[in-house]
Chain A
């Protein structure tokens, strides 16, 4: 009886794994095959010469170059906003400092983490409506707004990642510095942060990946299908995920569909590269830190 149950469970688990693997292979294979054909300079720049497009001398019409630039700008801007805030908050939460606010703050971070991205986008949208009615009638959805909302979206990941990394450090490491007479700040900068660096850095990278792939937030906060290169942080812009979304619904020709596949593959490669980068860091920086003298 027991034996029967065990083998039944084993069979089910095999089935689950094989099904999943099959689906994933199907997904990636489909995308890879169709996308690979589309992967060429024309995908990025259309009929515009590549160099002229990269130096922004000529506009690109039938390529995903503006979307790529838009996504990169967006992600950089969002990181700029989120990373300092996220690290500082995470450090605060990981410290033993018994502040009366700490528990409430931890709760707020958890709640923020649970907010669906569309709600975050709606928040940005509401903010603009609010500004339009009150302070700045000309306010409109734009790159900066999207970046701000994306920053909010990834902020809790950054905070939690920093916090858990620092808390996972052996407590003796924390005590060693303090028992030698380090100030808490010295302890943080010279011991805890270097020790937790890899974890925090990989958290940052994952957050960047999350910001790069999100579509729902930017959908409500200023992305458009045809804006060309972003004109400034208060202008509209294009982005890769939105471009893919748009093509899935609106593609009218095989060429456009092929571009959709190409764009999807590019985005996938981007997020995969970020993921692998984070993974690599987690595995190697630990060793590097042990061998080299990074502290002094």
Chain B
């Protein structure tokens, strides 16, 4: 067991070690710039950072309300008998490979978007956001669901005894009580959306630019890493992907540490007789 601990710690250290040389190299200014022209020595990754952020935010913007709706449905807004099959289905959705969402999107959604907006190629921010939102939806639902479940046990009987209907319990007791957890679910979902590679790579178009509309093509940090590795580029381009990796790593780490701090404040102390 000591070995397993040591190895996990070692891995984390190793990851950090590989990313650090970028900052020692003195190319910081070049990497954190807005232009990506590797053959002219301009390897800015800021457009990709913006792309990652925008895509994750829009995907969450679409998925979160849906997820909240589904959880509300399962917790009193919908009929009780539908609850188990619905949650079972959502659970099942987590097992669908990401690449399949991407595949179906390429075959089905991309031509559809192109058909509706003829000026677009179909490979766009919009397409990626739609696909990604469906992909993160089950994760979000399960996160919210876990939070609600915790509160549910505590308040169900009390509010039923007060004569609340299940729907009222959800809206006026459960939801507000779990609000902190709901935030946590949103942030974790965001972090999941940020980490996705395949969908962005397959349907977002991958043009290294800051998009002006939902129909523009965008490139995320994750897709950027995959693209540069695939198309053997200059050494500076390689540096840019390590910087991208480090940014992703730091953002997800920061999110996690923040959430950890939030949660440790709410944990009840152990009691002893």
Binding site for B on A (CB under 8 A): 2, 5-6, 9-10, 12-17, 19-21, 23-24, 26-27, 30-31, 85-86, 88-89, 91-92, 101, 104-105, 107-119, 121-123, 125-127, 129-130, 152, 155, 159, 206, 209, 212-216, 219-220, 241-242, 244-245, 247-249, 257, 260-261, 264, 267-268, 271-272, 274-275, 279
Are A111 and B253 within 8 A (Cβ)?
Answer: yes
Given contacts A88-B4, A89-B5, contact A116 B194 (CB under 8 A): yes
Q: Which residue of the partner chain, among B14, B197, B229, contacts A125 with CB atoms under 8 Å?
A: B229
Q: Which residue of the partner chain, among A16, A92, A241, contacts B99 with CB atoms under 8 Å?
A: A241
Shortest distance in angstroms between B129's beta carbon and chain A's nearest beta carbon?
14
Q: Is the interface of B mostly helix, strand, loop or mixed?
A: helix
Shortest distance in angstroms between A2's beta carbon and chain B's nearest beta carbon?
8
Tell me the complex Cα distance, A19–B170, Å: 21
Show 8 A/B contacts (Cβ-Cβ < 8 Å), sorted by A: A89-B1, A91-B1, A116-B195, A119-B225, A122-B242, A215-B198, A241-B97, A275-B91
Are A272 and B197 within 8 A (Cβ)?
Answer: no
Chain B residues numbered 141-166 whose CB sits less than 8 Å from any CB in chain A: 165
Tell me the complex Cα distance, A262–B18, Å: 39
A87 nearest in chain B by CB position: B4
How many pairs of residues, A versus B, come closer than 8 Å at their CB atoms?
218
Q: Is the interface of A mostly helix, strand, loop or mixed?
A: helix
B19 nearest in chain A by CB position: A126
B111 at the A interface (CB under 8 A): no
Are A27 and B245 within 8 A (Cβ)?
Answer: no
Q: Which residue of the partner chain, among A109, A118, A248, A264, contacts B197 with CB atoms under 8 Å?
A: A118
Are B242 and A213 within 8 A (Cβ)?
Answer: no
**Interface 1/0s, chain B 217-261, versus A by CB < 8 A?**
000001001100110000000100110010011001101110010
Q: Which residue of the partner chain, among B14, B67, B95, contacts A275 with CB atoms under 8 Å?
A: B95
